[in-house]
Amino acid sequence: MTTARLGLLCLPRSVASAVADARLAEAVGFAMVGVADSQSVFREMYATMALCAQATQRVRIGPSVTNPITRHPAVAAAGIATVDEIAPGRAFFGIGSGDSAILNLAERPSTLADMRAYVETVRALHTKGETTWRGRLVRLTWAKRAIPIYLSAEGPRTLELAGEIADGVIVNVGLEPTLVQDAVARVHAGARRAGRDPASIDLWTMVRANVTDDVAAGIDEIRMELASNAHHVFRFTLEGKHVPAALADAILRVQKGYQPAAHEALGPSPNAALLDAEPVLRAYLAERFAAVGPPSAVAEKLRAVVDAGISGLLVTGFVHERQALIRALGEHVRGRLA
């Protein structure tokens, strides 16, 4: 039986809370701590990661995720190499096309070609010390190792690109086993096309979680996370994303109303309110993307994800009692996944 691994995605609403969450996650058995990069709504990522790295001894630390728009690749390569110097061998570099970080600057998400070029540039800076970026020579003279690069992916083409170029993938297609299996197959297809061993790619998936005996209240508390899924996972196109046709208009309404300035905001935020008007979509998103309930039910749903081919479970769980959730996952769910 495959061993499951838990990771924690931190939104640094304050530096102190992110550090405290990272420290607790390590104490209760998490393997990874990712820090979000969204300068307009959260604290600065690299400064926060450095302090999380200092406060821990075992967990891996990295962006979950940064983007190619707001940081030059040489700046990002130096930033993550610095984190790796603080926490030797524990850093990873997660990157995606961009969400609230870029939307709050009125920028557009990166294309697949942009992400490919960015990943190749960061890797070359770590391994060779110099390369070209947009036709110009760029250097990083002091990096000590190639930091593993993880690509965040939802759509079929991005999943295949991740298989081609990334050391790991942060998948965000949902928790249903058939969807997980399809995502894994696409990553592996990309790997084989590039002549890589599919088994060498480290797979993680995003999990919207809340451990509680009151399932309805637990879903209600994280409904802004479900709105975020509708906004992000299904953007650009619904093609290949296994969405019932009857929900397409509701998804479009959520996407049009989504406010990046309130991204993942706790409580009765405008993004949470979007799903109050879409009960059918809300139920669908909860079933597809979330694991909510008592420890046994959460573990059962997550075990099915692991059995479907993804052993890394990167938990969001943006709830008011954040530390209680981290402790519940580590102490009451993780053991049931063994």
Tens of pLDDT along 221-259? 999 999 999 999 999 899 999 999 999 999 999 999 999
d(CA 317, CA 51): 21
DSSP letters spanning 250-262: HHHHHHHH--GGG
- Flag whether pLDDT at 77 surpasses 80: yes
Domain that holds residue 246: 5-337
- 312-315 and 5-10 beta bridge pairing: parallel
- Identify the burial level of 188 via C-beta atoms within 10 angstroms of its C-beta, where 0-12 means exposed, 13-18 middle and 19 or more buried: buried
pLDDT tens digits along 250-297:
999 999 999 999 999 999 999 999 999 999 999 999 999 999 999 999
pLDDT of residue 338: 79
User: pLDDT category, 63, cuts 50, 70, 90?
Assistant: very high
Per the confidence metrics, is the pTM higher than 0.95? yes
Strand partners, 204: 170, 312
The DSSP secondary-structure symbol of 331 reads: I
Q: How many CB atoms lie within 10 A of CB 200?
A: 9
Q: Across residues 50-75, what is the average pLDDT?
A: 98
- 136-139 and 130-133 beta bridge pairing: antiparallel
pLDDT tens digits along 160-188:
999 999 999 999 999 999 999 999 999 99
At residue 89, φ and ψ (nearest 5 deg) are 80, 0
User: Tokens 């929900």 sit at which residue?
Assistant: 247
| Strand intervals (E) in 32-135 | 32-35, 60-63, 93-95, 130-133
Q: Across residues 108-113, what is the average pLDDT?
A: 97
User: Any idea what the CATH number is for the domain that residue 254 is in?
Assistant: 3.20.20.30
Instruction: Kindly give, in sequence order, each residue whose CB lies less than 8 Å from that of residue 127, ignoring residues fewer than 6 positions away.
Output: 146
d(CA 223, CA 219): 6
- Flag whether pLDDT at 100 surpasses 80: yes
DSSP letters spanning 116-127: HHHHHHHHHHHH
pLDDT of residue 94: 98
| Strand intervals (E) in the chain | 5-10, 32-35, 60-63, 93-95, 130-133, 136-139, 149-153, 168-171, 202-211, 290-293, 312-315
Backbone φ/ψ region at 129: left (φ over 0), alpha (ψ -120 to 50), beta: left
pLDDT tens digits along 294-338:
999 999 999 999 999 999 999 999 999 999 999 999 999 999 997
Q: Across residues 102-120, what is the average pLDDT?
A: 98
- Flag whether pLDDT at 26 surpasses 90: yes
Average pLDDT, the chain: 97
Strand partners, 130: 139
Tally of domains in the chain: 1
User: pLDDT category, 1, cuts 50, 70, 90?
Assistant: confident
pLDDT of residue 98: 97
Per cent of the chain over pLDDT 70 is: 100
